[in-house]
Amino acid sequence: MTFDYDLFVIGGGSGGVRAGRVAAQTGAKVALAEEFRMGGTCVIRGCVPKKLMVFASHFAHANDDASAYGWDISVGDFSWSAFTTKLHAELDRLEGVYGRILANNDVETFHQRATVKDPHTVVLADGQEFSAKHILVATGGHPVVPDIPGKELAITSNDIFWLPELPKSILIVGGGYIASEFAGILNGLGVAVTQVYRGEQILRGFDDEAREIIAAGMRERGVDLHVCQNVKELRKMDDGIEAVLEDGTATTYGQVMYATGRRPNTGGMGLEAAGVQLDHGGAVVVDKYSQTAVPSIFAIGDVTNRVNLTPVAIREGMAFVDTVFNGTPTPVDHALIPSAVFTQPEFGTVGLTEAEAAAQEPIEVYSTSFKPMNHAFAGREDRVLMKLVVSKANRTVLGAHIVADGAGEMIQMVGIAVKMGATKEDFDRTVAVHPTMAEELVTMKAPVRST
């Protein structure tokens, strides 16, 4: 059978674009459809604009810190309009880069929604139908607001970059990394931030000791953080949005932002009718090669709800091309993936948490928390955490957790060692770089806990 394309990619995010480009470089005829903007969540409404906002928010402490170091300077007011004008120009530039990457590799693009008609047919919103030997679903996910009275009054992380002006106050609902990151960002930009989370501590799933230090640091910097709380109802008021909590207390805010979860973008795509299996949350079920129950249809990235990180989606896209177009079946390795959470203080982590490791085998914990030199000199109360979780049996470092300025940069390097199976003694043999915060990772000699 002759097909219009060897590969039709649905979704123009980082994973889909990478897979389409690399597949085309093998000589395959490739098409890609994106219904919103090329670049996907990460580039347009996620990692990139968020990280730029993190950078902007860090200047809030510049005046105080500079004064402590002997500088006589004054930081003026933050201009949201000046920042967002430049931000959107940068996002436009990046979107253009993605489009040119595809064009330069002869990938035909369609700027409209695409759905699946059958195992080898894609239908565009304008009614065009194309046949494809292989279909790759890379449609990502979207934030959701729980079904409570007044839910339409809330915004999500998708909306935050498009606000005409910053609110004077905001309630952020949720305790995951998105909620906690934006709490720090908006607090740094001068917004009065309240964060509520229904659980006992924010950042569920991460290391407990790190979670405690991050929460304390957020409160120290001015975030009004409340746990074991949830919103029951939102009401429109003349001066803002009133949030009624489950304990009956009610407070009015300029904005209410929900960051309580995301769902895969699989609705109305025709996947199940074509034979693709979805799980209870709507995620595409795939095997270790990203193949669905339909042999010709594959899926990568957040739409599969495996590890929802941009570099993982890219890696999955590369493995897909190796498997399907290079004749080298390549399973995706989801073990020991380093990640950073751009809370304030920042968090970097790789491997098992202390609780996960202790449930698996006997361990030793090497941990230290202290005021770093730069913060202590400036009179700040911020604390750093350096932590290694070590197997008693073979001395392998099972997990590393860092709370510190630049933790994301540090964990990338630490992640290499952990991925290679480094032992605690390998860390100990490494000469410390002094004076740095990270030197503590190679100078902790005695465990603080043992199980």
Are residues 292 and 158 both part of a single domain? no
Structural domain total, the chain: 3
Are residues 276 and 134 both part of a single domain? yes
Are residues 137 and 78 both part of a single domain? yes
Amino acid letter at 19? Answer: A
Residue 274 belongs to a domain: yes
**Residue 162 sits in which domain range?**
151-260
Task: Tell me if residue 432 falls in helix, strand or coil.
Answer: coil
Cβ proximity of 144 and 263 under 8 Å: yes
Residue 20 belongs to a domain: yes
Determine whether 209 is exposed, middle or buried from the number of CB atoms within 10 Å of its CB (0-12, 13-18, 19+).
Answer: buried
Query: Distance between CA 231 and CA 244 in Å, rounded?
Result: 6
Residue 359 belongs to a domain: yes
pLDDT given for residue 156 in this prediction: 96
* Active-site option among 61, 142, 375, 434: 434
pLDDT given for residue 60 in this prediction: 83
Tell me which DSSP letter residue 285 carries. P
Virtual torsion, Cα 330, 336, 341, 345, nearest 10 deg: -160
What is the per-residue pLDDT across 419-444, written as a single tens digit (0 to 9) for each?
999 999 999 999 999 999 999 999 99
Determine whether 307 is exposed, middle or buried from the number of CB atoms within 10 Å of its CB (0-12, 13-18, 19+).
Answer: middle
Look-up of token digits 């931030």 = 193
Contacts 24+ apart (CB under 8 A), 67-70: 68/377, 68/378, 68/379, 69/377, 69/378
Cβ proximity of 370 and 383 under 8 Å: yes
pLDDT tens, N- to C-terminus, the chain (451 residues): 899 999 999 999 999 999 999 999 999 999 999 999 999 888 898 999 999 999 999 988 887 788 889 988 877 789 999 999 999 999 999 999 999 999 999 999 999 999 999 999 999 999 999 999 999 999 999 999 999 999 999 999 999 999 999 999 999 999 999 999 999 999 999 999 999 999 999 999 999 999 999 999 999 999 999 999 999 999 999 999 999 999 999 999 999 999 999 999 999 999 999 999 999 999 999 999 999 999 999 999 999 999 999 999 999 999 999 999 999 999 999 999 999 999 999 999 999 999 999 999 999 999 999 999 988 898 888 899 999 999 999 999 999 999 999 999 999 999 999 999 999 999 999 999 999 999 999 999 999 999 9
Residue 204 belongs to a domain: yes
| 434 catalytic residue (yes or no) | yes
pLDDT given for residue 61 in this prediction: 81
CB atoms within 10 A of CB 117: 15
User: Domain containing 352 — which CATH number?
Assistant: 3.30.390.30
Are residues 292 and 210 both part of a single domain? no
Cβ proximity of 137 and 298 under 8 Å: yes
Boundary residue ending a domain (260, 281, 308): 260
Query: Distance between CA 44 and CA 51 in Å, rounded?
Result: 12
pLDDT given for residue 244 in this prediction: 97
Residue 334 belongs to a domain: no
Are residues 288 and 213 both part of a single domain? no
Work out the percent of the chain whose per-residue pLDDT is above 90: 92
Cβ proximity of 263 and 271 under 8 Å: no
Are residues 283 and 395 both part of a single domain? no
Are residues 301 and 363 both part of a single domain? no
Radius of gyration of the chain (CA): 24
pLDDT given for residue 266 in this prediction: 97
| Sign of torsion over alpha carbons 69, 70, 76, 77 | positive
Rounded to the nearest integer, the mean pLDDT of the chain is: 96
Residue 352 belongs to a domain: yes
Are residues 246 and 294 both part of a single domain? no
Residue 329 belongs to a domain: no
Residue 246 belongs to a domain: yes
What is the per-residue pLDDT across 265-309, written as a single tens digit (0 to 9) for each?
999 999 999 999 999 999 999 999 999 999 999 999 999 999 999
pLDDT given for residue 378 in this prediction: 87
